Amino acid sequence: MTTLDQIRRPIESEIEEFNAFVRKNFSEEQGTLIGDMLEYVLSSRGKGLRPVVVMLAAGATSATGNFGKRTMLAAMLVEMIHVASLIHDDVIDESDYRRGRDSVNARWQSRNAVIIGDYILARNMNIGLQSGQYDLLTHIIGAMSTLCEGELIQSDHASKLDTSREHYLDIIYRKTASLFSVCGSVGAISVGASPDKVAAMRTFGKMLGMAFQIVDDILDVTSTLEKLGKMAGSDAQNGKSTYVTLLGVEECQRLVDKLTDDAMSALDAFENNDALTEYAKYLADREN
Ligand code: FPP
Ligand code: MG
């Protein structure tokens, strides 16, 4: 099975540069509440899948195969929206663990967690505005309201327990796949790719994001706190009807395979897209 390390290898040095760029933009004095909270959040950002998709999409669609500062900025804007959304998500889900550690709300209480999430979003927006790269910012910021819609629609269904397959797919598109699709398209936009390449990368990101969330939902019922580093079984506990609880793990796996095929079809227009193709395969294999 392809590993995530193999997928990241072609852009290893860029990922390091990206991590330093994020720290430079989101660090504050240690020993202050804001500084300590930011340090805690930045020191466990997880696998960084979204910036990887932005950078791979940029590399695959740029005329030279290279990408620069605009791509780094786009990757950071997307990643920090994701980081803030998970801080808020753990407050909503009353989850005490994230990435094998106390969640921000467990460590500093929900009221501080909400504010640091807001702070990250505000600072992110400021950085985007000050950069003057309005095309990137405009493209990315739309995803924030879509994420909120996903959470609210999910919450509405949780109280009514009437989730259909269509509702579920709509929810996971909004809460997860919309941001992944932006990762694909903004990566391509950041290097001035043609509209058809931007559209193909958008489709790639969307299918990947749908597959990713279904796998996440499968793992919620099949895995453990120790393996996941976050609470398992919390979807049912929070009244969320996921595709897994609706149709079972096997049906979900079939859907993940189909979405991954669709993601790979979106790449047909490209040559030398091994890293992206491997990434799609990695997600499909992840829980096997
Ligand atoms: C994780 O779902 C949650 C998301 C992918 C989206 C969260 C979005 C919000 C809280 C809306 C606020 C948006 C912004 C931009 C601040 P999950 O609970 O199924 O996954 P988990 O198991 O990782 O917790
Ligand atoms: Mg959650």
Mutate to test the pocket of ligand 1, among 175, 215, 224 (most ligand atoms within 8 A of CB): 175
Q: Please give the average per-residue pLDDT across 185-202, as a whole number.
A: 96
Neighbour tally for 1: CB within 10 Å:
9
| CB-count burial class (<10 Å; 0-12, 13-18, 19+) for 20 | exposed
pLDDT band at 254 (very low <50, low <70, confident <90, very high): confident
Structure confidence at residue 269 (pLDDT): 64
Structure confidence at residue 164 (pLDDT): 80
Q: Please give the average per-residue pLDDT across 220-239, as a whole number.
A: 76
Mean pLDDT, the chain, integer:
88
Ligand 2 centre from 174 Cα, in Å? 14
Ligand 2 centre from 13 Cα, in Å? 31
Percent of the chain with pLDDT strictly greater than 90: 58
Contacts of 127 (CB under 8 A, 6+ apart): 25, 73, 76, 77
Question: Which of 221 and 150 is assigned the larger pLDDT?
Answer: 150
Q: Kindly report, residue by residue over 50-60, the tens digit of the pLDDT.
A: 999 999 999 99
Ligand 2 centre from 75 Cα, in Å? 22
Residue 283 has pLDDT above 70, yes or no: no
Residue 286 has pLDDT above 70, yes or no: no
- Check: CB of residue 78 under 8 Å from CB of residue 54: yes
CA-wise closest residue to 207 among 262, 126, 144: 262
User: Could you tell me if the CB of 93 is within 6 A of ligand 1?
Assistant: yes
Q: 29-38, 61-70, 111-120, 263-272: which has the minimum mean pLDDT?
A: 263-272
Structure confidence at residue 34 (pLDDT): 97
Residue 161 has pLDDT above 70, yes or no: no
Residue 287 has pLDDT above 70, yes or no: no
Question: What is the rounded CA–CA span in Å between residue 66 and residue 213?
Answer: 30
Q: Report CA torsion sign: 69, 70, 73, 78.
A: negative
pLDDT band at 271 (very low <50, low <70, confident <90, very high): low
Q: Please give the average per-residue pLDDT across 253-280, as a whole number.
A: 73
Q: Which ligand 1 atom is the nearest neighbour of the CA of 121?
A: 16
Question: What is the rounded CA–CA span in Å between residue 140 and residue 272?
Answer: 26
Say how many residues make up the chain: 288
Mutate to test the pocket of ligand 1, among 86, 182, 221 (most ligand atoms within 8 A of CB): 86
**Amino acid letter for position 162:** D
Q: Please give the average per-residue pLDDT across 84-109, as a whole number.
A: 95
Q: Kindly report, residue by residue over 104-153, the tens digit of the pLDDT.
A: 999 999 999 999 999 999 999 999 999 999 999 999 999 999 999 999 99
Half-sphere exposure of 4 (CA within 13 A, CB side): 10
Question: What is the rounded CA–CA span in Å between residue 283 and residue 47?
Answer: 13
